[in-house]
Amino acid sequence: MPDISARAPRLFVDFPLAEGATVPLDKAQANYIGNVLRLGAGADVLVFNGREGEWHAKVIAGRRRPEELSVVARLRPQPAPGDLHYLFAPLKHARLDYMVQKAVEMGASAIRPVITRHTQVSRVNIERMRANAIEAAEQCGILTLPEIGEEQPLAAAVAALGPDRLLVFCDEAAPVADPLAALSAARRGPLAVLIGPEGGFSEEERTFLKRRDNVLVLSLGPRILRADTAAVAALALVQATLGDWVPGA
């Protein structure tokens, strides 16, 4: 089979995938395939559903525009899911969109908004977050979609992690030290990364987090980072030392 991965568009479809299956396109996907990309019958498309790997499919002609895909063959098996939870204080729309997309690209398996004392946005649009997660997965060749959680108070979100999950608490007030060395000394296992709001954590929240048994307080360097920048920096550090960037991890 020719290599189509570099030129074919990728679509997330929430349907079972198997050789010979017919998969319907929703209106947005049909418009994208037919009107934006101008693909006709027989054109190649890559599809995934987050459960059964990546598949080669072909466009089936509709009355006015493509309405269905015919699944041809599986190209990649579904990888084992990661185990990296990303907790963050919600941001306003554009920066929240960016943060969700980057968390998906960096391998987060669960994305959970948490409400802190200085959080500026108290409610988030879960469907918008999911749409951004799907878009990032489509564009970056990712096959597993993260779980998107409802917003929770900080204490409840931390309690839900369970005692065995290492919480990497990124705190701008922590003494500046070598974050790579600190992470490299930690034991491997289930991970969670916590990024706070623009106003930082309150002293009560810092005290609460530091009292947790399985916590690593981490500085991200000598400069104060915006929350969306801190997300990328922290997730990159964690993946490079304890996560799936490490050979054999």
In this predicted structure, the answer to whether residue 1 has a pLDDT above a threshold of 50 is no
Domains delineated in the chain? 10-76 (2.40.240.20), 84-241 (3.40.1280.10)
Q: Phi/psi at 137 (nearest 5 deg)?
A: -65, -40
* Residue scoring higher pLDDT (83 or 173): 83
Q: Tokens at residue 241, please? A: 């030392």
The confidence score (pLDDT) of residue 118 equals 87
pTM higher than 0.95, yes or no? no
* Residue scoring higher pLDDT (173 or 181): 181
In this predicted structure, the answer to whether residue 168 has a pLDDT above a threshold of 90 is yes
Q: In this predicted model, what pLDDT tens digit does every residue of 145-157 receive, in sequence order?
A: 999 999 999 999 9
Nearest in space to 113 (alpha carbons), one of 82, 156, 58, 168: 156
Average of pLDDT values for 83-109?
93
Residue 97 confidence class, pLDDT cut points 50, 70, 90:
very high
In this predicted structure, the answer to whether residue 249 has a pLDDT above a threshold of 70 is no
Q: In this predicted model, what pLDDT tens digit does every residue of 27-55 receive, in sequence order?
A: 999 999 999 999 989 999 999 999 999 99
